[in-house]
Structure 1
Amino acid sequence: MATTDCQSTSGLRLRPCKHQVAGHLFEEGKAGSLVDDRGHFYKPLQMGPRGDREREFYEHIMSAVRNEQDELMDTEASHSGNLSDDGSEASVSGRTSEDDEEHRQQHLPFSVRNAVLLRSIPRFYRTVELDGRKLLELEDVARRYRHPSIIDIKVGFRTWYPTADTRYIEKCKVKDHMTTQAALGFKICGMQVYRSCQRAYWRASKRWCKQLPQEAVNKALVRFANNEAGLRPEDVYGGERGAIAQLRQLEAWFQKQREMCFYSSSVLVIYEGDAETAEEANVTIRLVDFAHTFAAEGHKDSNFIAGTRALIKALTGVMKLDYHDCIL
């Protein structure tokens, strides 16, 4: 994959990201994520292969999109002209309809077959260096919200990847079973909810999230979707523009793609904290954290698909719960 040279951050006015709910936080003397006045987010790269993988993931996406920008129209025209040929080959070779769909997907331009992914991940600008540390300069996904309510949910029934060493796998298995990851297929890593009546945020600590029992997860999901200004779970999770509809689009992309496997990645659900209606909430889903993303080598990412389905089922269920019975 292509490598982007690190650039200096001199001249930029950087400050701690106050809306970071999980991951790199300014806690216990640790260096956290930063933002600037342009709407850019600076995420510290982890040391070793984890940081390399996340950087390479973004650089691969950026390189693939750039390389096809000048050729996209010609590629689409060429592909559309060959659709009938693909169909005849399928009938002769005995390919199943699923095989034929995979074949068609593989020959679509990168930005077309991965359009859902490109909408879901933060935009990548470059890799920068600050005080000897490397950071990814990304889009600040909370920038366009006045009072962003955000929940970070790690997706999948397991966070370990098959090629990892035995010690790492066993460590992940223990953590997955100590949280709701292995049982539910997802876990809440952090969240903040804007309480409109108090004009302030309620934030869940890392410890609170780690100790959240399975039976309390639904209550947490209900609590996240209530901002004391009129919003309820059906406004945030339901509807044509809600979280569930967007998660289904993401799941549909995962069902087709065979290029990448995402372990220990998270879905962010973001909405306008002082909104009074579903339309004002402007709910959006973003996919983040790619330190454990690998080439799929033609295989379906069944772990992430199963986790996404489990999350959709949970969100569908909490829309039927009474908020007053779910106060944490």
Structure 2
Amino acid sequence: MTMPLLTVAVSSRALFDFEEENEIFKLHGEEAYVQTQLDRLERVAKPGVAFLLAKKLLAMNNHGEKRVEIIVLSRNDPVTGLRVFRAIAENGLNIQCGCFVRGRSPFRYLPACGANLFLSAFADDVRAALENGIPAAHVKGGDSLRAEELVNIATPLTTPIAKKKTSITETIDESKELRIAFDGDAVLFGDESERVYQEQGLDAFQQQEKEMVAAPLQPGPFKPFLEKLKKLRQASSNSIRTALVTARGAPAHERPIRTLMEWGLEVDEAMFLSGKNKKEFLRAFNPDFFFDDQVRNVEGILEAGHVPTGIKNEKN
């Protein structure tokens, strides 16, 4: 059997909104939680943070060729697994593989899955994956979102997104286009430049970036994922659009682009924001998922994950 070009592992709480059930677990324990999931077997589970990304990735599998595989890796028990697979079927997702390990970390199964990306509501599992070279991000569940935002998660899945006119002749159908945005330092790239900024200040950072403009940055944890997206783009007729959204500004803009060129990679859009708030720019780009190493940059964004790496995430 041909191996997929991209394998994404997701926790059940990343794929579906089980935050209400999770509150029952925290208040009343495992037995009450399991019974609740069993009682709600026929209740349709609401989409979670990674649902839209999974749906669009699976749409790359057409003409019988399996280019993308989604695997559920969950701390839930096998009984809850029944509801997860029921929800998968009800939402028309072609996901057939899942591991449910009842309270234990599913990290040990990531290498066996061949995962190229891991999305989980458990920060410790995410850190373990990153420490072992697997791109990973921590996602917040529905309890961190406003109620009206939870309703809106499902909107693009049930109602086609209107085509946005960008010129007289060009239209974009974002319901079919996979759109992924990345932060730069500590995500696509290493954090060596960010360390200079944090330890020596802006002037030293900008001076270093000018002096080392031709020296490629070190790879960050998500370089392998961008490489996989390149292969997926080449193999699929589905549109993939990527963006670099970074707090860098001129003159520190040049080194990241030169680094991508050196790697033989590219992004479709690059936003050098010089410290401006990223959220309005992300709202305009409308990503299906955004990866950033700062919690404040992903808070309030429905489809986003925190990448807990680099100097900003080191414990003092």
TM-score, with normalisation over the residues of structure 1? 0.24
Identify, as 1 or 2, the structure richer in strand: 1
Q: Return the index of the structure with the highest Cα Rg.
A: 1
